[in-house]
Amino acid sequence: MIRITGLSFVYNPGREDEILALNDINLAVKEGEFVVVLGRNGSGKSTLARHFNGLLLPTAGEVSVDGLSTKDPQDLWKIRQLVGMVFQNPDNQIVATVVEEDVAFGPENLGAPPVEIRKRVDEALSAVHMSEYARYEPHLLSGGQKQRVAIAGILAMKSKYLVLDEPTSQLDPRGRREVMETLRNLNVKEGVTVVHITHFVEEAIYAERVIVMDKGRVALDGAPRAALGDVERVKSLGITPPLMTILAHHLTKRGLKVPQDILDVEEMVRALCSLS
Amino acid sequence: MLLELEDVSFTYMERTPLAQTALRNISVSIQEGEFIGLIGPTGSGKSTLIQHFNGLLIPTQGKVFVEDKEVGVEIKPAEARQKIGLVFQFPENQLFEESVFGDVAFGPRNLGCSEEEIEVRVKKSLEFVGLDYDSFKNRSPFSLSGGEMRRVAIAGVLAMEPKMLVLDEPTSGLDSQGREEILSRLEHLHHTESLTIVLVSHDMDEVAHLADRLIVLNEGHILFDDEPRRIFSQAQKLREIGLDIPRVTSLFMSLIDRGMKVPFSLFEVEQAADVILDLFGEMVR
C-alpha cells in the first residue's frame, strides 16, 4: 500500500515565487488498484506522482510505500525499486541501443545474476507483448512501442507499483490504445498496481478508481461512473467529461431517458438500442 | 497558389547505410484561406512534410513552391520561412527571453522592423492569441501556465506576419481548458484574418471540428486528401493504419450497423443530440 498522510509540498519555499503545489493530501493506494488521476494543468498531479517514489520529498506530511517512508534516505532505493515511473516523452527514457538491453538496465543495476536478468527481461517483454522486438533498435519503434519498452523496464525491476505521468500524451490513437491495453493486462493478469496520470478523460474507462486533483487538493475520488457522471461538477474542476457522457447529459436534459453515467460509444449504442 | 509541392520525396541520411525514406512522391497544393488538418500515425512523415513547407528541409527529389516561386531557386528559404510560419511541438521549450514582449518581438526584430513596427506587431499578435498586451508584455514567459506559454510561442510566429500558419500538435500535453483556448484562437484567426492554417493533430475530434480539408499521411505518402466527412467514412482503413474516427461518427456508424436511419457525417455533440431526439422523439415525455 502507498499511504499519503497530510502531504503538503511547496516549490521555492521562502521565495517570492513560492507555490503551494500540494495542500494536505490524504490518500491510500491499495495493492492491485488501477487509479486514474485527472486534473487541469497546475492542479498538482505531477507533483503528487513524484512523491510516490521519493523523487520529491514532502514539505509536510508523509509518504510511505509498504511501510517504508520516503523520508528515510536508506529506504529510498528500496522504494524506487518498488515504485517504477514512466514519463511523457518515450524518447527520454530509453538508454540502450537494443530493446532487451534497455529492459535489462534496471535489474543489472540491482545486481541480479545474469540468468535471472535474462528471465526477467524475457518475462517483462512478453508481458507488454514486445518479445518479437527484443533485438530491435529502439529508434525503429513507434511511440506506443517505446512506452511499452519503458514499462517493461520497470516490470523487470519487479516493481509492484507503476506510476505513469501522461505516458500517452505524445502518442497516436493506436499507440494510446496499445499502452492502455497493456496497463489493463498488467493490472488484471500480473496484479501490478497502476497509477495513471492523464489529460485524456476517456482513459478513465480503464480504471476502477478516478481521482481528480484541483488546486493541490483531491477534489473527487471515486468509481469512474460516479466521479465523471456529474457533468457540471467535473467541468467546474477544469475537466471536459467524456464526449458520450456529455451527449447523455444533453439527451436527458431534453427528456430522453438514458443513463447519466455513460462513458463510451459502446455504452451509448447499447443504451439507445434498448430504447427502440 | 500559396503552397505547392511537386512530386516531393525525402530521404534522411541519403547515400549512407542508414538512409531512410520519409516522404514518397508527395504532390499537394494549398490555397489561401484553407484550414487543413494533417493526420497520420506516428512516423508517417507529418513533421518531415511540414518542414518542407518553408525550406527547413530541402527535398531529395521534387520541388516546393511558395507563392509560385520555387524554394531555394526563386525564393530564399529564409523568405519562405517568413511567409510560412511553423509552430513546432512543445514550442514553449523555445521561449528564452526575460519578458513576453521580448520573446514575441524576436522574430520581427530579426526581420529588421523598426521599434514602432515591432510594438504594433507584438501587440496585435498577443491579441490574436487572446493574451492582453498590457498585463502580459512584462511578465516572464516562465511564470505563465502551459497554455499561456504555448500561446506566447504561437504569437512569436504570428508576429512574423506569415501567410500560412502550420502547427505541429499544438494542444499536446495541455488540459481541456488550454486545448480549448488554443483551438478557439485558431478558429478565430482563420475566420477574421482568413489566415491559412495547417493543423497537425492526433485528435480526430479536433480536426473534424475545425478543418475543411484533411490530408492523411501514411508511410510517407498521401493516403487520402479530401473533405473530413468523406475521409471519416473510411473508418476501417483509418483504424488499420493506427488512426481513428471522431467519437460521434463512431456512434452513428454503430447505429447504422444496427439498422437505424442516421447520417454518419456528423461531428458535433449538439447535432448528434438533435438527430437522436428526432429518431427517438416519441419516447420523450
E strands, chain B, in order = 3-12, 20-30, 35-39, 61-66, 69-70, 84-87, 164-168, 196-200, 213-218, 221-226
B244 close to A (CB below 8 A): yes
Interface contact A199-B147, CB threshold 8 A: no
Interface contact A171-B42, CB threshold 8 A: yes
By Cβ distance, the residue of B89, B173, B251 closest to A268 is B251
A172 close to B (CB below 8 A): yes
Residues 6+ apart with CB under 8 A from B16: none
> Is residue A32 scored above 90 in pLDDT?
yes
Tell me, what's the pLDDT at B18?
A: 78
Residues 6+ apart with CB under 8 A from B285: A255
The structural domains of chain B, ordered by start, are: 3-242 (3.40.50.300), 246-285 (no CATH)
State how far residue B138 is from chain A, nearest Cα, in angstroms: 16
By Cβ distance, the residue of A41, A244, A251 closest to B277 is A251
Going from the C-alpha of B165 to that of each of A112, B32, B82, B132, B136, the distances in angstroms are 53, 11, 10, 21, 23
A39 close to B (CB below 8 A): yes
By Cβ distance, the residue of A175, A246, A257 closest to B269 is A246
B84-87 and B3-12: which strand pairing? unpaired
State how far residue A273 is from chain B, nearest Cα, in angstroms: 8
Total-model pTM: 0.87
CA distance B100 to B144: 10
pLDDT in tens, A232-244: 999 999 999 999 9
B69-70 and B84-87: which strand pairing? unpaired
Helices (H) and strands (E) in chain A, counts: 10, 10
% of chain A beyond a pLDDT of 90: 70
In the block, cell 506569415 appears at: B162
- The per-residue pLDDT of chain A, averaged, comes to 92
CA distance A75 to A84: 15
**Given strand A68-69, what is the order of strands in its sheet?**
A19-29, A2-11, A60-65, A68-69
B69-70 and B61-66: which strand pairing? antiparallel
CA distance A104 to A216: 36
State how far residue B41 is from chain A, nearest Cα, in angstroms: 6
Residues 6+ apart with CB under 8 A from B229: B264, B265, B267
User: Can you read off the three cell numbers belonging to residue B110?
Assistant: 530579426
CA distance A193 to A183: 9
Q: Are A221 and B244 in contact (CB under 8 A)?
A: no
Tell me, what's the pLDDT at B246?
A: 92
Nearest chain B residue to A271, by CA? B255
B13 close to A (CB below 8 A): no
Residue by residue, pLDDT tens for chain B (285 residues) are 999 999 999 998 888 887 889 999 999 999 999 999 999 998 899 999 999 999 999 999 999 999 999 999 999 999 999 999 999 988 888 888 889 999 999 999 998 999 999 999 999 999 989 899 999 999 998 888 878 889 999 999 999 999 999 999 998 888 888 888 899 999 999 999 899 999 999 999 999 989 999 999 999 999 999 999 899 999 999 999 989 999 999 999 999 998 888 887 777 888 899 999 888 876 655
B204 close to A (CB below 8 A): yes
Q: Are A37 and A196 in contact (CB under 8 A)?
A: yes
A83-86 and A34-38: which strand pairing? unpaired
Residues 6+ apart with CB under 8 A from B89: A170, B47, B168, B169, B172
User: Which residue type, as a one-letter code, is found at position A76?
Assistant: L
A28 close to B (CB below 8 A): no
Buried b (16+ CB within 10 A) or exposed e, B133-153: beebbebebeebbbbbbbbbb
Tell me, what's the pLDDT at A165?
A: 92
Residues 6+ apart with CB under 8 A from B208: B37, B228, B232, B246, B249, B267
